[in-house]
Chain A
């Protein structure tokens, strides 16, 4: 069986088509809640895709990735609060601010490895959390309400739920495509080589630090964009969107979906958030079910759900 037609690829295609057609289903069924849920899933999926770039491909175990959600979100929130509502200003500022922050965190943390790397990324993210929680002018702890969503050109209206969903989906698919090109380029091979064996990379002639730093900044920028989308989705930003447990959620999505697979994090985001939704409908103690489920995935399916699908395809194909 050819790789292009494997079971796994069919599932991925089906998922993508389902995401594209979702608003049609919503229109027919009138179930607007599904659209709200999936807008959130698509945005967090984008954040997970960006985390996967450093975690899955680069082997950089960042425990502070949600900080860019906050920075991107607050870039939109603060600009809106100051009367600048053009998305052509807000979104580039969200991305640039995330890039600048990633450059600083990365420059320091990438000199370390393992636990130290985790601790430094976590510490920076928490620091940013407390700084933003202390900005009294912008709501401090209570957060900041956004009265006007990002403005683009005429027919595009982000307050329209369907339009906004498609904007988010387009950004997500764009990010997945960019990731795909990136990880299969010379740059991507260097990043993966460095994950695999950094000492060897340097021995054969790669100054790996600058490549890893670049990768770290690109991931931060993509996640900052997700932050700008979240701010528009909820019309509200608060420090809690960059709290460290949120970084943990992103890691869970990546691990659950499949590290180092381009669409894995999207699968992980869909699986986690849909499961959360379904289980919490059953019982208040849904985390008691979700926890062991995650354990099973981590213990027995090291490539996550995407790895399971690929394994299943290989068996069927043989």
Chain B
């Protein structure tokens, strides 16, 4: 049997006595789109931060592509092929859009102690960056200063940056957050295309998007996994309905 691309064992993290991650176990198979859902405060972003390396877990293990990355600094996880997008847009706002994506390419192109050659003339960096921008449909924005773009476009730049590093796996933290219906639909289409080539762990509040895209879904409540399974199983799971979906449906119809 194939080793899962990402395996999380017994992961635990507390903040001042509040349990954010409670002995959590999770596997993501190579090639699947695995969604993590849960009510507010379930510890979804805390989980993604531990996977990405922004937070160190108190205990437990994280394996990616067979190696233990629990204590690995974030930049090395990036180099290993694990790319993260941020829930709160985290871009280089005062640089151009193309420079943002160029940096993402450059991160995977060896060390950057190169002091003399004009980086903006380096085809090896600029072409993949332009290609990533083209994939998210932002080619015409390449030379704009990033802060001048809309929120929806910022989410797409996030995605382009994650793609630019040619990752094996994407950690997407609420890519639809703050998007209008049209932009959300565009993002769903984008992710549908991406999941053919990449393994994706998706944290998302938009249930419609999650059930449309996910191969498997894990439900978190208070940092614990209460269910994992195919979308149909999750939809019919009694515990999940009680803990989560009832509430979500209530708000969906509002």
The one of B74, B90, B93, B112 in contact with A190, judged by C-beta atoms closer than 8 angstroms, is: B112
Question: B103 contacts A204, CB within 8 Å?
Answer: yes
Distance (whole angstroms) from the CB of B113 to the closest CB of chain A: 6
Question: B95 contacts A196, CB within 8 Å?
Answer: yes
Question: B113 contacts A214, CB within 8 Å?
Answer: yes
Segment among B5-13, B118-126, B194-202 that sits at the interface with chain A = B118-126
Question: A206 contacts B90, CB within 8 Å?
Answer: no
Distance (whole angstroms) from the CB of A213 to the closest CB of chain B: 11
Question: B115 contacts A204, CB within 8 Å?
Answer: no
Chain B 94-122 per-residue mask, 1 if CB under 8 angstroms from chain A, else 0 = 11000100111011100011111111101
Q: How far is the CA of A236 from the CA of B137 in the complex (A)?
A: 62
Query: B116: which A residues are within 8 A, CB to CB?
Result: 181-182, 185
Query: A185: which B residues are within 8 A, CB to CB?
Result: 114-119
Distance (whole angstroms) from the CB of A195 to the closest CB of chain B: 8
Q: How far is the CA of A184 from the CA of B125 in the complex (A)?
A: 14
Which residues of A196-226 are within 8 A (CB) of B? 196-197, 199-207, 211, 214
Query: A186: which B residues are within 8 A, CB to CB?
Result: 106, 112, 114, 117, 119, 122, 125
**On chain A, which size bracket covers the interface?**
20 to 34
Given A204-B107, A205-B75, A205-B107, residue A187 in contact with residue B90 (CB < 8 A): no
Chain B 78-103 per-residue mask, 1 if CB under 8 angstroms from chain A, else 0 = 11000110100011111100010011
Query: B118: which A residues are within 8 A, CB to CB?
Result: 181, 184-185
Q: Using a Cβ cutoff of 8 Å, how many contacts connect chains A and B?
A: 94
> For residue A204, which residue of chain B has the nearest CB?
B107
Chain B 54-79 per-residue mask, 1 if CB under 8 angstroms from chain A, else 0 = 10000000000000000001111011
Which residues of B164-206 are within 8 A (CB) of A? 165
Distance (whole angstroms) from the CB of A244 to the closest CB of chain B: 29
Query: A197: which B residues are within 8 A, CB to CB?
Result: 90-93
Question: A211 contacts B107, CB within 8 Å?
Answer: no
Distance (whole angstroms) from the CB of B158 to the closest CB of chain A: 10
Distance (whole angstroms) from the CB of A119 to the closest CB of chain B: 26
Question: B90 contacts A200, CB within 8 Å?
Answer: yes
**Is there a chain A Cβ closer than 8 Å to B52's Cβ?**
yes
Question: B91 contacts A190, CB within 8 Å?
Answer: no
Question: B107 contacts A206, CB within 8 Å?
Answer: yes
**Is there a chain A Cβ closer than 8 Å to B234's Cβ?**
no
Chain B 136-171 per-residue mask, 1 if CB under 8 angstroms from chain A, else 0 = 000000000000000000000000010001000000
> For residue A211, which residue of chain B has the nearest CB?
B112
Q: How far is the CA of A184 from the CA of B94 in the complex (A)?
A: 15
Question: A184 contacts B120, CB within 8 Å?
Answer: yes
Distance (whole angstroms) from the CB of B171 to the closest CB of chain A: 10
Q: How far is the CA of A193 from the CA of B113 in the complex (A)?
A: 14
Question: A201 contacts B103, CB within 8 Å?
Answer: yes
Given A181-B115, A186-B112, A189-B99, residue A203 in contact with residue B78 (CB < 8 A): yes
Distance (whole angstroms) from the CB of B110 to the closest CB of chain A: 9
Query: A192: which B residues are within 8 A, CB to CB?
Result: 92, 95
- Among B54, B90, B94, B112, chain A packs the most CB atoms within 10 A around the CB of B112
Q: How far is the CA of A206 from the CA of B75 in the complex (A)?
A: 5
Q: How far is the CA of A204 from the CA of B80 in the complex (A)?
A: 11
Question: B78 contacts A200, CB within 8 Å?
Answer: no
**Is there a chain B Cβ closer than 8 Å to A45's Cβ?**
no
Q: How far is the CA of A199 from the CA of B55 in the complex (A)?
A: 12
The one of B52, B86, B115 in contact with A182, judged by C-beta atoms closer than 8 angstroms, is: B115
Question: A205 contacts B115, CB within 8 Å?
Answer: no
Query: A196: which B residues are within 8 A, CB to CB?
Result: 92-95
Q: How far is the CA of A193 from the CA of B78 in the complex (A)?
A: 16
Question: A205 contacts B92, CB within 8 Å?
Answer: no
Question: B113 contacts A187, CB within 8 Å?
Answer: yes
Query: B95: which A residues are within 8 A, CB to CB?
Result: 192-193, 196
Distance (whole angstroms) from the CB of B167 to the closest CB of chain A: 10
Q: How far is the CA of A214 from the CA of B114 in the complex (A)?
A: 12
Question: A200 contacts B86, CB within 8 Å?
Answer: yes
> For residue B110, which residue of chain A has the nearest CB?
A186
> For residue B122, which residue of chain A has the nearest CB?
A186
**Is there a chain B Cβ closer than 8 Å to A265's Cβ?**
no
Q: How far is the CA of A185 from the CA of B108 in the complex (A)?
A: 16
Q: 18 new A-B pairs (CB below 8 Å) besides A187-B113, A205-B79? A: A185-B114, A185-B117, A186-B114, A187-B114, A189-B102, A196-B93, A197-B91, A197-B92, A197-B93, A201-B103, A202-B73, A203-B75, A203-B86, A204-B103, A204-B104, A205-B108, A206-B107, A211-B113
B positions within 8 Å CB-CB of A: 52-54, 73-76, 78-79, 83-84, 86, 90-95, 99, 102-104, 106-108, 112-120, 122, 125, 161, 165
30 contacts between A and B (CB under 8 A): A181-B116, A182-B115, A184-B118, A185-B114, A185-B117, A186-B119, A189-B102, A190-B103, A192-B92, A193-B92, A193-B103, A196-B92, A196-B95, A199-B54, A200-B90, A200-B91, A200-B92, A201-B103, A202-B73, A203-B74, A203-B75, A203-B86, A204-B83, A204-B161, A205-B78, A205-B107, A206-B75, A211-B112, A211-B113, A214-B113
A positions within 8 Å CB-CB of B: 181-182, 184-190, 192-193, 196-197, 199-207, 211, 214
